[in-house]
Structure 1
Amino acid sequence: MIKMDRKWLIVIMGTLTQLSLGTVYAWSFFQTPITELVGWSNTQVAWAFSLSIFMLGVMAAWGGAKIDKYGPRKLAIIGGVMYALGYVISAYALSSGTLWLLYLAFGVLGGAGLGLAYVTPVATVSKWFTEKQGLATGMVVMGFGLGALVMSKLLAPFFLHLSSNSLSTTFLYIGLTLIVVLPISASFMQLPPTEKEKSQVQTKKSIVSSSSSVSKLIFSKSFIIIWLMFMINVVAGMIFISFQSPLLQDILKLQIPTPDLSDASVVASLNSSGATLIAVSSIFNGLGRFFWGAVSDKIGRITTFRLLLALQALIFVALIFVSHPLLFSVFVCIVLLCYGGGFGVIPSLINDSYGAKLMPVLYGTTLTAWGVGGIIGPQIVAFMKDNYSDDAGLYAFVIGGSILVLGLILSYFYSGKKV
């Protein structure tokens, strides 16, 4: 009975850790306010988020391979503190108008912390559960997707109100909150007793026996296609995760005959609408990991991924002609449902294709696609908003839809042979 309670306590704390880390997905809440505060371009500001996601993917890949060596608690606490410090230092970067410091703090330091802390809850929980593993790990992974809701509707509005709408002070308060919460929840991350005893021996054996074969698999056609499909799915989702609030506000402004953006109530209403979309879409992001994972159990992994890419391609085409805020919001939610689904399907696709023994290192390598997609997606929209402001959404949707079609075509070259 005590063991069962301990397992579920780790699940709860792992979910809380992921919920705190997932606040990074609310970046679009801050995108426009930062550009207006400091006078930087959309592209310049978006690079902070892009660097963060890139570092997340790279460090998650590295951290996943080092969990057995350093232990999940140490990696999670260090990662959580780094992410929190990213906000604290970013507060000074915003107040002083220092762009390179924002990149270093939020992008490099915070992103690296995200990566280290992200992999530990899922890996830890999966080792505690031999039964109901899908339920337990699903709860934890969904927490990351819901983090944007916590930031956009709770933390950011509360601290903005507390600081009289000071963006730099809000970043400081967020960082101080996370530096308290994350180490507490992360301290519960520990391997089961039997795993602690076996981990060092198993790690050394697996490195010796599979290092050469893993290198060959990583550069094989099938794995490269998996990597590209996942990266393209990430690009589609990141287009909205990074800019869904500004894009929605652009549509809402068209509904107002003569929008007075100097009117505080108008700006507040637009910001509130953007925050609501961030919150609602984050729920779909989280649920997508459950929903599409279950679908893939029924119709197969690669078939499900093709469905994800095809559905999003159709939505991106439809978005070219959409001018109604509600319909735009519905389409964004569906795209993020598919975005979350990619994270739910890819681990099983790799496991089915390459086996459980090779799954951790290959999945870690696949997460680098998350980092690359985190650069491409936001920069597509940022470039369009800086250079083609009136038609930024239109051009971004055309490019995004074209990339998704390319991903769909690539999926049919995947052999699917189990190694």
Structure 2
Amino acid sequence: MSTDSLNAGRGWLDKQRTVAPPGFNRWLVPPAALAIHLCIGMAYGFSVFWLPLSKAIGVTQPLVCGPEVGFWQELFVSHCDWKISTLGWMYTLFFVLLGSSAALWGGWLERVGPRKAGVVSALCWCGGMLLSAAGVHWHQFWLMLLGSGVIGGIGLGLGYISPVSTLIKWFPDRRGMATGMAIMGFGGGAMIGSPLAAELMKAFATPTDVGVAATFVVMAAIYFVFMMGGALAYRIPASDWAPAGWQPPPKAQPGTAAMVTHGHVHARRVWRIPQFWLVWMVLCMNVSAGIGVIGMASPMLQEVFGGRLVGVEARFGELDTAQLAAIAGVAAGFTALLSLFNIGGRFFWASLSDRIGRKATYVVFFVLGAALYLSVPYSAGAGSLLLFVAAFCVILSMYGGGFATVPAYLADLFGTQMVGAIHGRLLTAWATAGILGPVVVNYMRDWQLAQGLPREQVYNQTMVILAGMLLVGLVCNLLVRPVNPKHFMGEAELAAERRLAQDRAQAAESGPGTMSFHRSPVVWVLLAWAAVGLPLAWGVYRTGLSVARFFH
């Protein structure tokens, strides 16, 4: 049977149909990844819906349920409004399902390719939002949990890891930068989605409707267009492709900085390798400390500095309602500033890791991060708002940088053949950290308040605990060594895995020779980057307006 007839029989989502032809410009792939990550990154911004949803029936004021209505009854009641604490379970499900779905279906993604995984992600994420819209319309919270929480969470997991393996293979010379660009989009999704959702809810709100259901429908449609565009734009390089003039680094040796391996570890074998669990702890500790800060940044700023944020010499508990509202506005600007550093850090630190190595980058995260956490009580006690804010901005940049650097770290240690599946398994560390970090911070705060400590001092011990987490991560990172060659796939096993993954030496329509990324029309690259860059610029602009309130 001829090659043409074989191609004719394959589906348009088939992995072999996505192998890039000669002359394909590799810089077209990062915008495709960004298109998906900017959409699913709205998971970070779903809290913008909590307040309107908490009065979906009452509209102007929440119609409070009676004491007989517990959590399980709230799943089905339609005569009273949901509590914000109940709505927060959607946020929890997002990240539990992100980690678990990435771990479960990471191997499938490697075999079918990023295009099919991206399409499934779009269907799950956008379909989940439509189901949530139905849940809002009929006031059935179980539909929202099933829609955005479960189905949308699966879409999150598949969309998050879908570009990782592809970008690493397109940019073997800049692994950190490539994954940093994509994962930067996940951090920036809420920066676009939150103000968009606020504008849409304002437009759709009526005297009898808070406008959330219609907002879900419109955002699902917008996101579907962008995510499908990104998925269909994915291309994978031929298995023998390399950038022009690039030479693979020398084989890893114990004690070297980069530790870039030439072998490939199978995803099912990674659970038994010590380096995997060391990197798992590295990510878990970095995320636990960072996510704890994200959750408490706004109240911490208000309680520590109190009236000084608005030029009033008074503690937080001594402020009146108008003053509390004023400092809440300042704190919102502080949160927006942290989001900018979170996003920028994903690209900056991941790109820096290409120069100094992944291990050295995480050493910086843990040593500098621990020092900054320990400095916070002193800057707060001294009343130095500038040092306080600067410390948290750098901390949040390293929180985002940890997410963006870890895929390249995994590729260096375990090879590129199944890095997407291995990355999916590693994201269980994120799910763990999403529980560990906030629990430690919230319980410590409540315990210290119960002991009678002033509000401006209740975070001091918490900072020490978070610094301790980073020191645990530092020890784990320092213990990482090149993977023992016995764990790598042999030539026969690797060849069999590549056949299962439909890897080919060349695209079906191409002949022999090395692909070059120089010959694609530059206009397509510019248009692709404009498609994702303009929404991102709008999000930065809107966030900048909030930041301006803080500095003002």
TM range (shorter): 0.7 to 0.9
Instruction: Tell me, in whole angstroms, the C-alpha distance in 1 between the residues paired with 2:463 and 2:88.
Output: 18
- Cross-structure match for 2:235: 192
**Partner residue, 1:178:** 219
Alignment of 1:89-108 (within 5 A): 104-108=146-150
Partner of 1:335: 395
- Distance in 2 separating the partners of 1:173 and 1:250: 37
1:138–1:378 distance in 2 versus 1, CA, 3 Å: same
Distance 1:94 1:260 in 2: 35
Give yes or no for the alignment of 1:11 onto 2:30: yes
Q: 1:205: which partner in 2?
A: none
Tell me the number of residue pairs that the alignment of Structure 1 and Structure 2 aligns: 400
Q: CA deviation at 1:78?
A: 3.5
Answer with 88-97 or 339-348: which moved more.
Answer: 88-97
Counterpart in the other structure of 1:375: 435
Partner of 1:155: 196
- Separation in structure 1 between the aligned mates of residue 90 and residue 114 of structure 2, nearest angstrom: 27
One of 31, 41, 53 as aligned partner of 1:22: 41
Q: TM-score, normalised by structure 2?
A: 0.60
- How many Å separate the matches in 2 of 1:270 and 1:3? 57
Alignment partner of 2:478 out of 405, 412, 418: 412
2:337 matches 1:280 = yes
Instruction: Give yes or no for contact 2:132–2:216 (8 Å, CA) kept in 1.
Output: no
Measure how far apart 1:218 and its partner are.
2.1
Change in Cα spacing, 1:398 to 1:158, as seen in structure 2 (3 Å) is: farther
Aligned partners of 1:53 and 1:371 also within 8 Å:
yes
Partner AA of 1:372 in structure 2: T
CA distance in 1, matches of 2:34, 2:460: 37
Q: Distance in 1 between matches of 2:214 and 2:152?
A: 15
Contact kept? 1:28, 1:246, Cα under 8 Å: no
Aligned to 1:357: 417
Tell me if structure 2 keeps the 8 A contact 1:29–1:274.
no
CA distance in 2, matches of 1:162, 1:233: 40
Instruction: Label 1:3 to 1:136 Cα distance change in 2 as closer, same or farther (>3 A).
Output: farther
- Any stretches of 5+ residues in structure 1 without a counterpart? 197-208
| 1:10-409 aligned within 5 A | 10-26=29-45, 47-84=89-126, 86=128, 104-126=146-168, 137-152=179-194, 154-159=195-200, 161-162=202-203, 169=210, 171-172=212-213, 174-188=215-229, 189-190=231-232, 191-192=234-235, 214-251=267-304, 253-255=306-308, 257=314, 258-261=318-321, 263=322, 267=325, 269-323=326-380, 325-384=385-444, 390=455, 393-409=459-475
Amino acid at match of 2:98: L
Question: Alpha-carbon deviations, 1:307-349, whole Å to 9, x = none?
Answer: 2112211222222344355543322221121112212322222
Cα distance, 1:270 vs structure 2: 4.3
Contact 2:102 2:424 in 1 (8 A): yes
Q: Which has the larger radius of gyration?
A: 2
Cα pair 2:129 2:148 within 8 Å, conserved: yes
Confirm or deny: 8 A CA contact 2:37 2:185 kept in the other structure.
Answer: yes
Offset from partner CA, 1:88-138 (integer Å, 9 cap, x none): 666787899987766555543332221122222444555566787765544
Q: How many angstroms does 1:408 deviate by?
A: 1.7
CA contact (8 A) 2:179 2:405 kept: no
State the distance in 1 between where 2:441 and 2:126 align: 27
Q: Deviations over 1:56-80 (max 9, x none)?
A: 1222233432225445344334433
Could you tell me which residue of structure 1 aligns to residue 497 of structure 2? none
Output the aligned Cα RMSD.
4.1
Corresponding letter in the other structure for 1:175: F
| Cα shift at 1:231 | 0.9
Return the TM-score normalized by structure 1: 0.77
Compare 251-260 and 157-166 and name the one that shifted more: 157-166
Q: Which amino acid aligns with 1:283?
A: L
Q: Distance in 2 between matches of 1:50 and 1:277?
A: 24
Cα shift at 1:5: 8.0
